[in-house]
Amino acid sequence: MLLLAFVLVTANGSYGKAEQASRGEAKALDQLVEVSEYAPEAQRAQIQADAVCYARAVRFVEWPAMSDGNGSGAPSVWSTQVRRSFKSVEGEPVFGMLIAADNKRSDEREERLTQASASIPSAIFWFLLATLFVTVVALGICLPRRHNRGQLILLTVITALLTTMLVVIRDVDRPFGGIINVKPTAIAEVERQANRDFLAHHPGRKLPCDDRGRRLAA
């Protein structure tokens, strides 16, 4: 039971870190968009457009891939584009702020991808499952052959509780792929706001990506 409790705490900690990193990444991206308001017109338009496409690529391409513990190169296409736009403002006061916001976004994304992988090795999970099976069988053998209805009910309840705990551990340990999962709510909100600002400030320009963050043909 002590090992089971320790594993549950570990899985819950990984879930919390994944949720925190997701929100931190969205906040950093939002800050990047806000800081871009101090950049020249051309760079501001490019940064805001690439930020929208980055958010879409994270939401629609990388998020589903994380259910299996994998990442995607789709968001990196747009983060690279963002950094390229920094070169033209190098030496200006806004340059340092843009670099700081983008570095924060990059760090939070890396943490999010790290937490997408299972924090509990499969060997430990199977060991817990085998231990549960052996325990239930041993208790079943020790039950009296007659007048054992109460003991059977108790054994069934204990088995159900321990099995449920293992299922919860397995689910929480996959923060982006289980039933109890981290949803891309924060990044979706940043995408909506950034897209709204881009369309309001640059009505004559179009985004370089589609609704799922995929680059459009030139």
Q: What digits encode the pLDDT tens for the residues 48-105?
A: 999 999 999 999 999 999 988 888 999 999 999 999 989 888 888 899 999 999 999 9
Q: Kindly state whether residues 37 and 72 are assigned to the same domain.
A: yes
Q: Kindly state whether residues 110 and 129 are assigned to the same domain.
A: no
Full residue range of the structural domain in which residue 193 is found: 12-118+178-201
**Among the listed residues 133, 138, 140, 169, the one whose alpha carbon sits nearest the alpha carbon of residue 154:** 140
Q: Kindly state whether residues 66 and 43 are assigned to the same domain.
A: yes
**Among the listed residues 105, 119, 110, 102, the one whose alpha carbon sits nearest the alpha carbon of residue 16:** 119
* 98: in domain: yes
Q: Tokens 């309840």, residue?
A: 157
Task: Mention every residue, 6+ apart, whose C-beta is less than 8 A from residue 68.
Answer: 177
**Rounded to an integer, what distance in angstroms lies between the CA atom of residue 84 and that of residue 183?**
30
| Backbone φ and ψ of 138, nearest 5° | -65, -45
Q: Kindly state whether residues 192 and 95 are assigned to the same domain.
A: yes
Give me the number of domains the chain comprises. 2
Q: Kindly state whether residues 188 and 83 are assigned to the same domain.
A: yes
* 109: in domain: yes
Q: Kindly state whether residues 62 and 36 are assigned to the same domain.
A: yes
Q: What percent of the chain has pLDDT over 70?
A: 94
- Residue 130 reports pLDDT greater than 70: yes
**Among the listed residues 143, 167, 144, 168, the one whose alpha carbon sits nearest the alpha carbon of residue 155:** 143
Q: Kindly state whether residues 100 and 187 are assigned to the same domain.
A: yes
Q: Kindly state whether residues 107 and 154 are assigned to the same domain.
A: no
Task: Report yes or no on whether pTM surpasses 0.95.
Answer: no
Q: Kindly state whether residues 50 and 139 are assigned to the same domain.
A: no
Range list of H helices, 36-92: 41-57, 63-66, 74-86
Q: Kindly state whether residues 152 and 65 are assigned to the same domain.
A: no
Counts for the chain of helices (H) and strands (E), in that order: 8, 0
